A = this chain, B = another copy of it.
Amino acid sequence: MARQNTVFKEAYNRYAVALRTDTALPSEPEIAAQLGVSRSTARAILTRLSEEGIIRWNKRQKIVLRQPTDHDLFPSEETDSLHDIIERSFMQRILADDAAPGMQINELELAREIGTGTTSVREFLIRFSRFGLIEKRPNSHWTLKGFTREFALELADVREMFELHSAAEFGRLPRDNQSWADLAAMRDEHHVMLADINHRFKDFSVLDERFHLLIHRASKNRFIADFYDAIAIVFHYHYQWNKTAARQRNERAIHEHLDYIAALESGDQTAIEAACRAHLHSARQTLLQSLPQVATESA
């Protein structure tokens, strides 16, 4: 088959669960915009809803007849985009313990294992290569460079350069900028989490990602934004497989964030840099500690 209709299925599920009996649905272009799909797909959704007897559809009249049940929805395996499937599968492999740096990556084998065509795997690998974890030799195979100590250090260096830059830019934002309100809201979220840290410390990584994203957006620099996207994805998988997310470490990070936020709000560039450096320093330690520990020979 040429292409799975996952866009349709995913959007169908999303739309179906939000339906309420006896309500009237808006126009096709409006539905399409709501779901972020084309009108063609929106119409396919309406057609299916109609066929399933969930709505009565006649031209502009679209009435919800009944609430869809779980039975009406597509199973989650069918709604994941191929890209996500490949990403998950690939990340599992390279973060597994038997994936040694230097290992060859075989497109065909990967494709077979995932149950997909080689084209999609190739494209995924090309996109993924920007994370610096794999490398290609022309006309030959990809090589796994691995989530090594060098990788972590190089990543941390760039992250520090970028975040110091972004934090400084943030401090220069005009006071009426939306980001200041967002920052204040985030400060409160940190306080809430801290108050219940024993139960909520596992939620920290999501908050952490949102916090740094907010800072980086201030730089308005596409290269910084792209790099942070890459970091976020790599970390997402890395920390999922390496549950070193100790309560204590997260609690400390929250305190650092709060100091950092206070510094930003002060507008004092010296204070901002100090708070940013302090947090980045401990973030680097966290990252290094999350790696499989190898005996480090000291000179």
Contacts and interface: CB of A to CB of B under 8 A. Distances in A.
Interface in A36-57: 38
Interface in A130-186: 130, 132, 139, 145, 151, 154-155, 157-158, 161-162, 165
A173 B130 CA distance: 27
Contacts of A158: 221, 223-224
A223 B165 contact: no
A126 interface: yes
Nearest to A219: B157
A122 interface: yes
Residue among A38, A132, A145 facing the most chain B CB atoms (10 A cut-off): A132
Nearest to A129: B127
A44 B21 CA distance: 71
Contacts of A130: 130, 226
Contacts of A154: 220-223
A227 interface: yes
A114 interface: no
A154 B161 CA distance: 14
Interface of A: 7, 38, 119, 122-123, 126-127, 130, 132, 139, 145, 151, 154-155, 157-158, 161-162, 165, 219-224, 226-227
5 contacts: A123-B123, A130-B226, A154-B222, A161-B161, A161-B165
